[in-house]
Each structure stands twice: as structure tokens, then as C-alpha cells.
């Protein structure tokens, strides 16, 4: 490549597309970015590309595959030292590593939601016993609809990879008289083996588990929590379980039908160990 010699042969747009496999739109984009500047035939106004244009396009593709923008490629073509290029490639490597980590996190979220969809029919409006995943509590606020309190969520969330709905959990407390109170917790799943003594954690080895559907499609504007808790407590009594006076609700899936949302809630109600 070092002894590349420019020939007088020229190529039409259709030939260039065939030679390099680029689309017409991509070629126009390269021209707009100043990567190539073809001459124009005076007799028919067709663009004419020479061998150096082809070479420039291959170089642009070379660096595009290394995460450089066309602006950065154009700057390189204007001239730069190898040290500058090395520094730029180091920056691009770090950016790409960050993107890969975010994409891995997103992939895990996708898999978790897919698993939830697969088990939805089995657990919808049915009851079983399972362990409550360990969560670390990193904040709280009064109610889901207390939107003016949401800045406290933003203080504890990385919006580049996390969503608000997955970060908040409703905690209900109740007693034998049926009094029901609630607040919102800001949580994150805890995977480490050892807990920090200064932190607050939620961990229950035995819970009544169910999934219920909420949202305007199913319930209009009605609040379902009382009906849900009544039926859950009835099942607990029938099975001989003693609830511990607390329950946790997560929003796990939102779908739509007839322009109305269907919200699927996951409920854990801890019970006493036998």
C-alpha cells in the first residue's frame, strides 16, 4: 500500500457501489463528510471517482470498524502523528468497553423479563412458596404517585443502564385488624456473599408468592391492593401459614391491549418459619 500510485482511470457511481459494496446513501454520506470529493463529468454531470477515492473510502471503512466517527476520520486524513492516533484509539477502546458492559447489563435485564413472561401463566393469580431475593435498601419515599419526591430516586440510580420502575418496590405493612399502610423503597438486588453492617437489607427465606394483573385494562381506575391482600391472606390461612405483617410488590411487566396498560405485579408476602 505504501507505493500506491494514482491512475487516470475513473469510475461511475454504479461501478463504485459494485466495487466496494456500499449503498448509494452511504456514498453520499461519505461525500457530505468530505471523505471523498469526486469530480463531475461536464457532459453528463455524472460523478467520477478515481482510484484514490476508492482508497480513501476503504480507509474510512477501516477506521469506522474501529469506532471512529467520520469527523475523526476526516481529521486523520488531514494529518496526525502516530501518538495522536494511538491516544484516540485508546479513548475508543475505553468507550467501547463501557458500551459492552452496558449491553451486558441490558442483556441480563432482557433475559430476566423473558423468564418472567415464560412463567406468567403458571403464577398469575395462583399461590406458591418461594424465597425472597435479597435486596439492599438504598432509599425510600412516600408513594408511587409522589412524583415530586422522585429526585431521591435519581440520586441512587444510573439512568444510563437502569430504569426507575425496576429500582422501586412498594412495601406494605398490615396487622390482624386489616390496617394497611405502604411506602416506596429504592432497592437493588444484592449478589455479594457478605453484607455490610451499616446497610439495610431485605431477606426472607419463606414467602407466599403470586403474580397479579393491574392497570386500566384489567381494573380501570380501581385500586386492587385490598382485594389482593384479602385473597392472599385467605390462602395463607387455608394453608396454615402465619404472615409476618409485611409484603413487597414489584412491577415486572407492562403490556398494552386496546390502548390500555396491563401491569403485572409480583408479590412476596413473608410468613413465619415452621
Rg (CA), the chain: 30
Give yes or no for residue 3 having a pLDDT over 60. no
**pTM metric for this prediction:** 0.75
| 159 CA to centre of own chain | 9
List the domain boundaries for the chain.
10-79, 124-270
Task: Show Cβ contacts of residue 248 under 8 Å, excluding neighbours closer than 6 positions.
Answer: 132, 169, 170, 171, 172, 202, 267, 268, 269
Distances (CA, A) of 197 to 55, 66, 194: 62, 45, 9
Nearest to 69, CA basis, from 47, 92, 36: 92
- The answer to whether residues 165 and 251 touch, using CB atoms and an 8 Å cutoff, is yes
Give the pLDDT of residue 196.
Answer: 72
Three-state SS at 20: helix
Q: Is the dihedral of CA 242, 246, 248, 249 positive or negative?
A: positive
E strands present in the chain: 10-11, 39-40, 47-50, 128-141, 168-174, 180-189, 200-214, 246-257, 260-270
pLDDT score, position 103: 93
Q: Hey, is 98 helix, strand or coil?
A: helix
Contact, 181 vs 226, CB < 8 A?
no
**Least confident span in 11-15, 16-20, 29-33, 227-231:** 227-231
Which DSSP symbol is given to 34?
T
CATH second-level architecture of 10-79? Orthogonal Bundle (1.10)
How far apart (Å, rounded) are the C-alpha atoms in residues 247 and 231?
A: 13
If pLDDT is split at 50, 70 and 90, which confidence band does 42 have?
confident
Lowest mean pLDDT among 25-29, 119-123, 170-174, 194-198: 194-198
Among candidate residues 199, 207, 211, 205, the one with its CA nearest the CA of residue 250 = 211
Cell of 105: 447489563
Q: Which CATH architecture describes the domain 124-270?
A: Alpha-Beta Barrel (3.20)
Alpha-carbon gap, residue 119 to 216, rounded angstroms: 22
Q: Per-residue pLDDT tens for 83-104?
A: 999 999 999 999 999 999 999 9
Fold match between domain 10-79 and domain 124-270: no
Q: Tell me how long the chain is.
A: 274
* Sheet of 47-50, strands arranged across: 10-11, 47-50, 39-40
Q: What is the pLDDT of residue 195?
A: 67
Instruction: List, for residues 204-220, the tens digit of each pLDDT value.
Output: 999 999 999 988 767 66
Question: Is residue 150 a contact partner of residue 231, using CB atoms and an 8 Å limit?
Answer: no
Amino acid at each position: 500500500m505504501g507505493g500506491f500510485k494514482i491512475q487516470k482511470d475513473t469510475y461511475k457511481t454504479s461501478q463504485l457501489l459494485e466495487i466496494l459494496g456500499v449503498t448509494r446513501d452511504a456514498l453520499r454520506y461519505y461525500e457530505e463528510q468530505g471523505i471523498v470529493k469526486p469530480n463531475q463529468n461536464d457532459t453528463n454531470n455524472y460523478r467520477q471517482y478515481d482510484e484514490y477515492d476508492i482508497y480513501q473510502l476503504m480507509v474510512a471503512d477501516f477506521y469506522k470498524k474501529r469506532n471512529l466517527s467520520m469527523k475523526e476520520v476526516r481529521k486523520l486524513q488531514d494529518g496526525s502523528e502516530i501518538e495522536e492516533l494511538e491516544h484516540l484509539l485508546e479513548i475508543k477502546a475505553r468507550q467501547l468497553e463501557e458500551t459492552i458492559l452496558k449491553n451486558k447489563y441490558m442483556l441480563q435485564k432482557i433475559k430476566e423479563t423473558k423468564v418472567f413472561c415464560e412463567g406468567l401463566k403458571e403464577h398469575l393469580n395462583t399461590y406458591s412458596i418461594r424465597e425472597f431475593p435479597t435486596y439492599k435498601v438504598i432509599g425510600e419515599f412516600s408513594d408511587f404517585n409522589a412524583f415530586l419526591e422522585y429526585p431521591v430516586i435519581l440520586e441512587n440510580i444510573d439512568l444510563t443502564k437502569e430504569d426507575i420502575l425496576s429500582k422501586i418496590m412498594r412495601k406494605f405493612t398490615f396487622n390482624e385488624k386489616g390496617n394497611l399502610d405502604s411506602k416506596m423503597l429504592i432497592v437493588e438486588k444484592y449478589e455479594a456473599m457478605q453484607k455490610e453492617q451499616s446497610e439495610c437489607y431485605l431477606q426472607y427465606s419463606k414467602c407466599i408468592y403470586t403474580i397479579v394483573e393491574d392497570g386500566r385494562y384489567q381494573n380501570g381506575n380501581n385500586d386492587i391492593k385490598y382485594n389482593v391482600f384479602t385473597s392472599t391472606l385467605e390462602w395463607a390461612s387455608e394453608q396454615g401459614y402465619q404472615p409476618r405483617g409485611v409484603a413487597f410488590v414489584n412491577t415486572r411487566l407492562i403490556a398494552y391491549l386496546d390502548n390500555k396498560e396491563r401491569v403485572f405485579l409480583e408479590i412476596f408476602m413473608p410468613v413465619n418459619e415452621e
